[in-house]
């Protein structure tokens, strides 16, 4: 049997986790000196409200190597193997911790840095679960997932890079745009890299960027799934969902609050449009 493991930044619904027998290892969020397990110790809505009112920047922490070792050992049975798919390394050291843990257990573990997060990571995880039902070779599954990842587009819209800049990894990736922190920005993650693709001033400029992405999705007949994730306000994601249902009713859309860890990176008013 091939087991599928991921981390809590994957935008998976409880039903998807249960139906596909996916094991989720939580990251942690540190808020006001207290550590919370992502998606477990505090609801997404509660964390979103804290983020909007708390003056102190929250911090995040990746799972320890020991957590992954325990997870892999708990799943392991003779003849089993594991495919462990995680948040892109530009945002977190989670995949690296998983890789180090894989070297400390007897069960075969294939670790994949998705180069993505949120619903983009979820798309890869769900594809892994689908492949595991018919394939018995974990390495072969990872090979197919690597090709599948190239089809996924993740676009994130933020009002400020303040929150991204607080994270060491993201700061190194996008620190060069620190002088434009007051602009509304469009970020993408091509090939696992974090890039600023467009800048806009004011709400009108932001709406133009959003429209361009939606128009691209509507015109691309290959798109079958769209993830809409937001930090607090769902006004924009609701509008996008409405447009897609009218113009592309064949597309499956998930419109949902993102995880506390992703909220911490993106900050208030952030949202993402992810499609494949």
pLDDT tens track for 167-226: 555 555 554 454 455 678 899 999 998 888 998 888 899 999 999 999 999 999 999 999
Return the closest-CA partner of residue 257 out of 33, 3, 9.
9
Q: pLDDT tens for residues 75-94?
A: 988 999 999 999 999 999 99
Q: Mean pLDDT for the chain?
A: 92
Residue 21 reports pLDDT greater than 90: yes
Distance CA 156, CA 174 (A): 14
Distance CA 33, CA 260 (A): 15
Distance CA 225, CA 162 (A): 30
Q: What is the pLDDT of residue 170?
A: 55
Q: 186 near 237, Cβ under 8 Å? A: no
Q: pLDDT tens for residues 124-149?
A: 999 999 999 999 999 999 999 999 99
DSSP state of 116: -
CA atoms within 13 A on the CB side of 104: 14
The token duo for 157 is 């819209």
Distance CA 148, CA 212 (A): 24
Read off the pTM. Answer: 0.94
CB-count exposure of residue 139 (10 Å: 0-12, 13-18, 19+): exposed
Backbone angles phi, psi at 177, to 5 degrees: -100, 20
Q: What is the pLDDT of residue 179?
A: 45
The domains located in the chain, with CATH, are 2-27+62-149 (3.40.50.10170), 153-275 (3.30.1180.10)
């Amino acid at each position: 049997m091939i087991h599928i493991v991921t981390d809590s930044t994957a935008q998976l619904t409880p039903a998807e986790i249960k139906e596909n027998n996916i094991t989720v290892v939580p990251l942690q969020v540190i808020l006001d000196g207290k550590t919370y397990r992502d998606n477990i110790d505090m609801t997404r809505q509660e964390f979103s409200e804290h983020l909007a009112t708390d003056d102190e920047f929250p911090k995040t922490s990746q799972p320890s190597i020991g957590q992954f070792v325990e997870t892999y050992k708990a799943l392991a049975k003779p003849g089993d193997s594991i495919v462990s798919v995680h948040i892109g390394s530009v945002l977190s050291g989670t995949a690296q911790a998983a890789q180090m843990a894989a070297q400390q257990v007897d069960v075969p573990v294939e670790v994949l840095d998705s180069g993505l997060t949120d619903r983009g990571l979820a798309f890869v995880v769900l594809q892994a679960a689908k492949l595991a039902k018919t394939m018995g070779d974990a390495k072969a599954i990872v090979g197919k997932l690597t090709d599948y990842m190239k089809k996924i587009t993740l676009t994130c819209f933020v009002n400020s890079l303040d929150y991204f800049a607080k994270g060491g990894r993201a700061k190194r990736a996008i620190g060069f745009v620190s002088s434009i922190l007051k602009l509304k920005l469009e970020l993408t993650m091509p090939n696992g890299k974090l890039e600023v693709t467009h800048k806009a001033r004011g709400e009108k400029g932001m709406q133009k960027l959003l429209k361009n992405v939606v128009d691209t999705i509507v015109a691309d007949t290959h798109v079958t799934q769209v993830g809409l994730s937001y930090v607090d306000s769902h006004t924009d994601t609701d509008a996008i969902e409405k447009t897609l249902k009218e113009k592309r009713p064949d597309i499956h859309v998930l419109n949902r609050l993102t995880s506390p860890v992703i909220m911490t990176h993106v900050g208030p008013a952030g949202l993402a449009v992810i499609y494949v």
